[in-house]
Amino acid sequence: MYFLLVYMYIKNHVYMFPDLLGCHGKCRRYLFCCFQDRAGQFFSSGHTNNWAVLVCTSRFWFNYRHVANTLSVYRSVKRLGIPDSHIVLMLADDMACNHRNPKPATVFSHKNMELNVYGDDVEVDYRGYEVTVENFLRILTGRLPPSTPRSKRLLSDDRSNILIYLTGHGGNGFLKFQDSEEISNVELADAFEQMWQKRRYNELLFIIDTCQGASMYERFYSPNLMALASSQVGEDSLSHQPDLAIGVHLMDRYTFYLLEFLEDIHPASKTNMNDLFKVCPKSQCVSTPGHRTDLFLRDPGSVLITDFFGSVRKVELTMETINLTDPIDAESGELQKEMHTYADQLPVSEIIHQKPKQKDWHPPDGFILGLWTLILLVFFQTYGVKHLKHIF
């Protein structure tokens, strides 16, 4: 028992002060190349594209702040360069067009309506009831039905850096989706492991802003993961300020200070992760933010914020060209004046004529069993207590 306590104490401190353990992170031998080359940022990070998966898991008007959290991270990420085609935005409820919103088509993050994070070019990929644990895991692992469009997929490869941001209500080891289901930290860790097996990411930054958020990254075991949480196990993440005109709290503290920090970053800035770890100390946040870097191979001091939040492309100058001498055949152009045909993108005839899926038989659930037990009891009661005596 005592040993367990000591172990937990050490574990917590390992996550917050990785330097204590020295080479802990570098002791894994996986695919990695590390260059600190001045001549080009080309080799310093090893990624060629960036993706972001931003999820807000709670619905109802009083959870306005979770939608505002997600939208403010979305805004920062877009401003720093990641295009919409590389962002998967999941919002569990529509706050901007909610009946109770006194200013429709806006979602504010600062009181006195200073900053509208909804803007006019928001592209929400999963909305409302589409935000479920199943869809979230499907996006991460890539197991989507073939009819899913590109904008709803995470098409990352082995050179993608992915930012995953989750916010909502959570507890010790789980995160609540839509008030009806939850995702556990084991499932999340397994999903990341499957992503690693298929090399669907180069490096992954996981940020979670919920109560007891640190419990969600406790179970990670795949390499190249860095995690940040807004509060430790046993602590609650608190919200920032209410706006009296709108009537709800607008943002959570951690994300509020994170947004302030990100507003100072521009695509060419050289701020690194150590500054991100210092965002929202206990004096501002009331809860203690935590981070985990032991699975990450590079030193956090050498990881730029724009490696995950922005999308700085590597470029190479093209030095060669091919000498083409054939003239273009003008005649072939004129002969092919065929009308444009509609390219069938989905096998519509197959879909229409599909047989309905056979549903699996499930044994009767608790309600039916309880009902039958009640009926039997009433039967025995009316028709003879003496029969009951033999059973009980």
Partner 1 sequence: LQSVRGQLAALSIAAVVIIVGVPLWWRTTETYRAWLPVSQIKELAKLQLHLSADVEVVFARGTVTPEQQKKVPLTQTQNMEHRVDGDSFNAILTPMRLSNSASVEADLSLHTLSESPSGSLVVYVIPESSSLLPQNVDVYIGQRRTALLRIGSQMRVGKTLEQLLAHMEPRIKQVLHVMSFSHTDITAALSNRVRISPGNKESIADSMRAFKSSPGYEITFSLLNPDPKSHRLHWDIEGAVETYIQPLLTKLSPVANFSIDSQTLYYAMLGVNPRFDSSRSTYTLNADSLAHVINPVEARLGSNAASSNPVLNFLLYIPDAHHSPLYIHDHKKQQVPTNAFHSPRWGGIMVYNVNEFYEVDTVFPVDINIDMAKVMGVFLAQLRLLLGVQSSTPPPGFLVAPCGNAGLADWELDRLMWSRSVENIATATTTITSLAQLLDQIGNIVINDNIAQQVSSAVTSLQLAVSELEAGNLGFALQYSKEAILSSERAFFDPSLLHLLYFPDDQKFAIYIPLFLPMCVPILLSLLKIVSEARQKHREKKPKKD
What phi-psi label fits residue 185: left (phi over 0), alpha (psi between -120 and 50 degrees) or beta? alpha
Q: Is 291 a catalytic residue?
A: no
Burial of 236 (0-12, 13-18, 19+ CB in 10 A): middle
C-beta of residue 13 within 8 angstroms of C-beta of residue 20:
yes
| Segment 302 to 361, residues that bind partner 1, using CB under 8 A | 311-330, 332-333, 336, 345-346, 361
Q: Are 69 and 209 in contact (CB under 8 A)?
A: yes
Q: Is 379 in the site for partner 1 (CB under 8 A)?
A: no
Candidate list 97, 105, 245, 369; residue touching partner 1; CB under 8 A: 369
* Per-residue x/- track, 97-126, partner 1 (CB under 8 A): ------------------------------
Task: Give the nearest distance from C-beta 343 to partner 1 in angstroms.
Answer: 8
Chain-centroid distance of CA 348 in Å reads: 32
User: Under the criterion CB under 8 A, does residue 375 sit at the interface with partner 1?
Assistant: no
Out of 141, 156, 161, 239, the only residue in the binding site for partner 1 (CB under 8 A) is 141
Q: How far is the CB of 120 from partner 1 (least distance, A)?
A: 14
Verify binding: residue 186, partner 1, rule CB under 8 A. yes
* Contact flag: residue 212 with partner 1 (CB under 8 A): no
- 243 near partner 1 (CB under 8 A): no
Q: Which among 56, 86, 211, 291 is annotated as catalytic?
A: 211
Cα–Cα distance measured from residue 170 to residue 239, given in angstroms and rounded to the nearest whole number: 14
Residue 11 burial (10 A CB sphere; 0-12, 13-18, 19+): exposed
The verdict on 84 binding partner 1 (CB under 8 A) reads yes
Residue type, 241: Q
Stretch that binds partner 1, among 16-24, 53-61, 141-149, 277-285 (CB under 8 A): 141-149
Dmax over CA atoms of the chain, in Å, equals 105
Give the N- to C-terminal CA distance of the chain in Å, as an integer.
43
Number of residues forming the site for partner 1 (CB under 8 A): 83
Catalytic status, residue 211: yes
Q: Which residues are catalytic?
A: 169, 211
